[in-house]
Amino acid sequence: MASATVSTSEDDPDLALSWSGRWSLAHRIFAVNILTILLVALSTLYLDVFRNRLSKERVRQTRIETSTTAQAMGHVPQAEWPALLGSVSKSTGSRLRLYGADGNLLLDSWRATGPTYALRDPSTQNWTKDVARSLDRGFNFLVGANALEDFTEPARDRLQSWPEGVEARRSGKPETQVRNAPDLTPVISAAVPVAGNVLLATDNDRAFTRTVRSQRAVVAGAMTFIVIVSMLLSMFLARTIVRPLRRLALAAQRVRLGRSREVRVPRLPSRSDEIGLLARAVSDMSQSLRHRIDNIEAFAADVTHELKNPLASLRSAIEGIGSVKDGELRAQLLAVARDDVVRLDRLINDIGEAARTDAELARAQFERVDLGSLIEQLVASWDGRREKGDARLAFARPRKDTAAVMGKPDRLARAINNIIDNAISFSPAGGLIEIAASRVGDTVRIRIDDEGPGVPHDAREKIFNRFHSIRPDGDDFGRHSGLGLAIARAIVEGHDGEIDVADRDDAPSGARFTIILPAADRA
């Protein structure tokens, strides 16, 4: 199809992009979503890994301290065990209990030192602790952490009340367990067999919770940063997507209303993404529409002007016939009226065809056309027509399917026929019209040469305008509407081709019309 009219409107500076101009919309949206999700996932993963490592380290530390204490008890007399347990309890802040072979409690470090930790009642704490515990539960749910048992002091303090102690006695190895205090701080316990007894250490590690919550505050700061980044990215998307689309929508609305002759549509030349393609397509479409409307208005004005002349002549002839008595004069007036009717008929037919050409080609389904065969049929048709007079047609037919194009056969035939008709009308008596078609690279060139006076250099563009006609002396009145060459150009351009006229370089006089069309793929 004919190339679209290119808009010359400049880009809006506030819609121009620099480094991101070559990103597609899919890339931008994907990057924003992935970046936000990735940052959240990494922050959550980091905090979970940090907490698990810290928990394992605290459990290991408690197990080592308990095992070391059990080893120390094996090197001191039993009478010194209470003092040893009290000393260790003071230094570690844990509670040490020794259970005998029957499971009864033998020693308790708190009897010597007093409580080294206290389980706090959540109902006595302020609201900030409630918020912290809610965040703890939410994070545990997010990472899928296993729920811990609640820690409560047994009503009867025996070894059987501590599963880790029972397991340590059975296996002969240290056993550990972590439980939740009422305020969701961890209580770490470690049981170690010692001389037929079991040593149990428990510790409410509040420092662990403070460390985790402190680190969570850091992550919360990172999350705040992520939110800010997401907002900035959203603003970026709004600037690069929403605002240009809104401008284009407003421009399209103004084009639809048609209240402004020239609607400025931003072309966004700095963008090679979908928005830039859309902007340029809408801009070109609006310019093409404006150009088409201007052509329609000019065509309507030209049609009105061209129809007035034959109508005025026909009216004068009809009015004269009624008042003229001379038979010879009446015959002349009838001849004038007859010529005017012929001229009007041709004008109406050509005007209708000119008006339909663009619309038909816009909806056309092109097919492969062998121009050699098509032109041969046209020449055969002209040889049998009276309008040709004594002009001669010569066609150098190319090999079959070498001069093939994609197009509508009837439209291409009309364009070539109009050029031949024009050449015949300007040919002298017995003149030769030479027609040739050949493939040159990726194009097919049709050359039509006549032996007429040629086309003045300053008129070579004008002759393709509608209703522009410079006829030779003695040409039949009313036979030409001045639309033939205009229709031919419209058809050729509708096939993405070109048409021009020049003087012949192989004869003293004459015009050479050249039609250039894209060649079809070789069969």
pLDDT tens-digit series, residues 233-262: 777 777 777 778 788 888 888 777 766 666
Q: Residue 447 belongs to a domain with what CATH number? A: 3.30.565.10
Domain boundary among 176, 202, 217: 217
Which of these, 465, 495, 487, lies nearest to 354 by C-alpha position?
A: 487
Q: Work out the average pLDDT over 333-359.
A: 72
Chain centroid offset of residue 80 CA: 82
- Do the domain assignments include residue 462? yes
The tokens for 495 are 């096939």
Is residue 39 packed enough to be buried (19+ CB in 10 Å), middle (13-18) or exposed (0-12)? middle
The tokens for 425 are 């009308």
Angstrom distance (rounded) from CA 468 to CA 376: 29
For residues 72 and 64, the answer to whether their CB atoms sit within 8 Å is: no
- Do the domain assignments include residue 505? yes
Q: Where are the alpha helices (DSSP H) in 94-156?
A: 110-113, 127-143
515: helix, coil or strand?
Answer: strand
- Confidence tier at 338 by pLDDT (50, 70, 90): confident
Between CA 87 and CA 92, with CA 90 as vertex, the angle to 5 degrees is 105
For residue 242, the 8-state DSSP code is I
Angstrom distance (rounded) from CA 471 to CA 482: 9
**pLDDT digits over 49-106, tens only?**
888 899 999 999 999 999 999 999 988 999 999 999 999 999 999 999 999 999 999 9
- Do the domain assignments include residue 451? yes
The answer on pLDDT for 231 being more than 60 is yes
- Do the domain assignments include residue 264? no
Q: The tokens 């009276």 sit on which residue? A: 386
Tell me the β-bridge partners of 503.
Answer: 511
Angstrom distance (rounded) from CA 339 to CA 273: 60
Tell me the β-bridge partners of 444.
Answer: 439, 517
- Confidence tier at 348 by pLDDT (50, 70, 90): confident
Between residues 3 and 292, the one the model is more confident about: 292
Residue 29: what pLDDT? Answer: 67
- Do the domain assignments include residue 35? yes
**pLDDT digits over 129-144, tens only?**
888 888 888 888 878 8
For residues 379 and 393, the answer to whether their CB atoms sit within 8 Å is: yes
- Do the domain assignments include residue 358? no
- Do the domain assignments include residue 38? yes
Q: Residue 113 belongs to a domain with what CATH number? A: 3.30.450.20
**pLDDT digits over 363-377, tens only?**
668 889 999 899 988
The tokens for 191 are 């049981």
The tokens for 237 are 């998307």
For residue 10, the 8-state DSSP code is P
Residue 12: what pLDDT? Answer: 55
Roughly how many angstroms between the first and final C-alpha of the chain, as a whole number? 22
Q: How many domains does the chain have?
A: 2
Structural domain span for residue 383: 364-518
The DSSP element (H or E) to which 92 belongs, if any, is helix 81-92
- Do the domain assignments include residue 11? no
Domain boundary among 163, 196, 217: 217
For residues 502 and 512, the answer to whether their CB atoms sit within 8 Å is: yes
Q: Work out the average pLDDT over 190-212.
A: 92
Domain boundary among 188, 217, 246: 217
The answer on pLDDT for 3 being more than 70 is no
